[in-house]
Chain A
Amino acid sequence: MTGSSVAAPDAEASGRTGLEPVRDPRVTLVELVDTLLDRGLYLNLDVIISVADIPLIGLNLRATLAGMETMLEYGMMRDWDQRTRAWIQRTATRDLPLEDDEELLAKMAGGYFSQDDFHRDWRPGSVYLTTGRLLVFRRDPREVLWETPLEDIRSVEISPETTIGGETLDRLKLRTAQGEEAVLSASAPQRLREMVLQQAPAARREVGASGDRPRPADVESDNASPQVEGHLWYQESLAGRSEWRGGTGRLDEHGFTWKSAMDTRPAIRLRPGELRDVRLEDGQVPSGESTLIRLATSAGEFVLAGDTSRWGDPLQDLAGRHDTTDTHGREAIDGLGDR
């Protein structure tokens, strides 16, 4: 059961030497401690477990802890059951009192650009989107740096800003019913904007007027293909089985990517030229959709499922495109010959 064993027969036959896993706690201590603190079973009976000083009563959801911050960034509160949600509400907003009927929808690192007659500076904190408000809150020292009721938001735009270091960062520029303009930073500004637009009734009406300014990347490109972004299922292959996973697909002039909120990077990345063929086919999908999207690529086949009316044509277009990706910002990768 333990230790790494003798080489497998076929490994010996081919003379290949593999890496051997390391079990020595002196080497693995950090990872072992991380794993033990994050993982393992929670019994769903009257247990007391203490996580970040909050006693958590009877939850059995590993993802609660491991994925909490990420899921919050994605505004995926609704994916949790009600008890877990209640606990997360308490944990994530333990310093920030919410109204009785107010629910947290998303939270991410960010800040507020404070500007008055004397000072102009960034004030870092976390951006919270609730069912009633958008606010920037700092935990220590505790302060609501900026807030607005959602119904007062008139427009939300992405506004690129070049920092002193030469980096271009997207800021969120908001206009309220009172005529106030506020500039926020957020770890995922585009996503935050989409979530705000979904929640703020008045902002939605003006979105066409001022909110849909193209991202800087789009301005530089020829914008030949329409961009599609949305939910897609991906049937990921493992040893002897496969698993349907939910995630976000994205198709733009650089190609197609699919990423799960639980992963750090997209698990599928296809540049123009790498997608050879797209086939739609009847099949079983967990969500009830009944059409599979089969992508034939230079790296093998990927099986997806989702709204074929949205994804079918753009994917076919991508399959028909050759690799005309501009070299802007790409030469570094191309030079490494990872195709």
Chain B
Amino acid sequence: MSEQALYVYAIAPSGEIRDPGTGIDGQDVLVIDGADGVCALAHRQGTTPYEGPDDDVRRWVLEHSGVIDRAWQAAGAVLPVSFNVIVAPGEQSPADEALQEWLHDNAGTIRERLTALTDHVELRIQIAVETDTVAADASEIARVTAEMASKPEGVQRLYRKKLETMRRDVSERVADSLYPEFRRRILQHAVDVVENRQSRTGEGMVPILDVAVLVAETEVELLGIELAEIRDSRPGLEIRFLGPWPPYSFADLPALTPGGPPQDA
């Protein structure tokens, strides 16, 4: 009764994954076969999505990604499914049937996408520049800093505020001027790219670029060399290079056949 829904982790080619292991909260992961060369990895549960404190969410997300990662290594290509995607049973049909039907209806598109993703990895690249390094080169900032020294304390406070704004503006301008070249150089090695919008950078750093790229395995090393060259091209640059991951950001299917009757949200 309460275990009537399916929490889905990934879509994968059939026959490759023998032991999907356990998923969120130690749940047994099942292979739901669509019989058209594609299958889904899922566990049985109720229809309630996972919700809770941040620490719990982080743990669940890691367990979720663990299932995807193992399947990716076993099958060579998977379509990672987003966190908290739960297939609910229909009025007439159980969730298994709805999922199998969906796999059947979309098998062609899914197989095509899986083929395109084979031997490709997702990598995340974050490039940021140190505000202080950039500001040290700006003559305008040097001038205002020198001017400030001769002012009374109260006025200095205003100057500091002004300097802070100037440092940020100069860093933003430098980031703007570097972005196009860095993007072009990275994309020479990538077949797809998605920009990450909520970029986080450390204190005193201004983000220049934060992207997820889809890269052929054979190209990863060359991308690494390109990034090292970018890093060494000027002082104050910091690069985070993460992965390789399953293609989390590149799992979209062009046009899917909707499962069940169309609905108006």
Name the residue of chain B whose CB is nearest to the CB of A89: B265
The contact string, 1 if C-beta is below 8 Å from chain A, for chain B 165-198, is 1000110011111111101100111111111111
Minimum CB–CB distance for A197 against chain B, Å? 27
B38 touches A (CB below 8 Å): no
Q: Are A8 and B221 in contact (CB under 8 A)?
A: yes
**Alpha-carbon distance between A268 and B11 when the two chains are bound, in angstroms:** 37
Q: Are B86 and A48 in contact (CB under 8 A)?
A: yes
CB < 8 Å: which of A10, A49, A265 contacts B179? A265
Q: What residues on A are CB-neighbors of B259 within 8 Å?
A: 43-46, 58
The contact string, 1 if C-beta is below 8 Å from chain B, for chain A 8-23, is 1011000011111111
**Alpha-carbon distance between A94 and B144 when the two chains are bound, in angstroms:** 47
Q: What residues on A are CB-neighbors of B126 within 8 Å?
A: 31
Name the residue of chain B whose CB is nearest to the CB of A12: B221
Q: Are B165 and A27 in contact (CB under 8 A)?
A: no
Given the known inter-chain contacts A40-B81, A165-B161, please indicate yes or no for A33 contacting B61, CB distance below 8 A: yes
Given the known inter-chain contacts A4-B220, A45-B98, A46-B259, please indicate yes or no for A264 contacting B195, CB distance below 8 A: yes
Q: Which 10 A-B pairs have the closest CB atoms?
A: A45-B259, A18-B224, A40-B82, A18-B225, A332-B138, A8-B221, A50-B49, A41-B251, A265-B179, A166-B162
Residues of chain B touching chain A, judged by Cβ–Cβ distance below 8 Å, are 5, 8, 11, 47, 49, 51, 57-58, 61-62, 64-65, 69, 72-73, 76, 79-88, 90, 98-99, 101-102, 121, 123-124, 126, 134, 137-141, 158, 161-162, 164-165, 169-170, 173-181, 183-184, 187-200, 207-210, 212, 215-229, 231, 234, 239-245, 248-249, 251-253, 256, 258-260, 263-265
Given the known inter-chain contacts A29-B58, A31-B124, please indicate yes or no for A45 contacting B102, CB distance below 8 A: yes
Q: Mind listing 14 A-B residue pairs with CB under 8 Å?
A: A34-B196, A40-B83, A40-B248, A42-B81, A43-B87, A43-B256, A60-B256, A166-B162, A238-B187, A239-B190, A265-B180, A265-B209, A333-B174, A335-B137
Q: Are B137 and A332 in contact (CB under 8 A)?
A: yes
Given the known inter-chain contacts A1-B76, A39-B82, A332-B140, please indicate yes or no for A268 contacting B180, CB distance below 8 A: yes
Name the residue of chain B whose CB is nearest to the CB of A69: B197
Minimum CB–CB distance for A274 against chain B, Å? 11
Given the known inter-chain contacts A1-B121, A46-B260, A332-B138, please indicate yes or no for A166 contacting B165, CB distance below 8 A: yes
Q: What residues on A are CB-neighbors of B227 within 8 Å?
A: 18-19
**Alpha-carbon distance between A269 and B179 when the two chains are bound, in angstroms:** 9
A101 touches B (CB below 8 Å): no
Minimum CB–CB distance for B26 against chain A, Å? 18
Q: A49-B49, A60-B252 given; name 10 further pairs at CB < 8 Å.
A: A8-B222, A10-B222, A19-B224, A20-B224, A40-B82, A45-B99, A50-B49, A83-B263, A166-B165, A262-B195
Minimum CB–CB distance for A167 against chain B, Å? 5
Minimum CB–CB distance for A115 against chain B, Å? 25
CB < 8 Å: which of A40, A83, A263 contacts B264? A83
A222 touches B (CB below 8 Å): no
Given the known inter-chain contacts A21-B123, A166-B161, A239-B187, please indicate yes or no for A49 contacting B86, CB distance below 8 A: yes
Q: What residues on B are CB-neighbors of A238 within 8 Å?
A: 187-188, 190-193
Q: Are B181 and A299 in contact (CB under 8 A)?
A: yes
A30 touches B (CB below 8 Å): yes
Q: What residues on B are CB-neighbors of A268 within 8 Å?
A: 180
**Alpha-carbon distance between A19 and B263 when the two chains are bound, in angstroms:** 48
A63-105 residues with Cβ-Cβ distance < 8 A to B are 66-67, 69-70, 83, 86-87, 90
Q: What residues on B are CB-neighbors of A331 within 8 Å?
A: 138-140
Name the residue of chain B whose CB is nearest to the CB of A67: B197
Q: Are A36 and B165 in contact (CB under 8 A)?
A: no
**Alpha-carbon distance between A266 and B170 when the two chains are bound, in angstroms:** 16
Name the residue of chain B whose CB is nearest to the CB of A339: B177
CB < 8 Å: which of B81, B209, B215 contacts A43? B81
Q: Are B85 and A49 in contact (CB under 8 A)?
A: yes
Q: Are A263 and B65 in contact (CB under 8 A)?
A: no
The residue in A27, A239, A331 that gathers the most chain B C-beta atoms within 10 A of its C-beta is A239
Q: Are B177 and A333 in contact (CB under 8 A)?
A: yes
Minimum CB–CB distance for A243 against chain B, Å? 8
**Alpha-carbon distance between A19 and B225 when the two chains are bound, in angstroms:** 6
Q: Are B252 and A165 in contact (CB under 8 A)?
A: no
Minimum CB–CB distance for B173 against chain A, Å? 5
Q: Are A239 and B188 in contact (CB under 8 A)?
A: yes
Q: Are A7 and B253 in contact (CB under 8 A)?
A: no
**Alpha-carbon distance between A31 and B260 when the two chains are bound, in angstroms:** 34
A35 touches B (CB below 8 Å): yes
CB < 8 Å: which of B174, B190, B263 contacts A338? B174
**Alpha-carbon distance between A237 and B245 when the two chains are bound, in angstroms:** 23
Name the residue of chain B whose CB is nearest to the CB of A336: B137
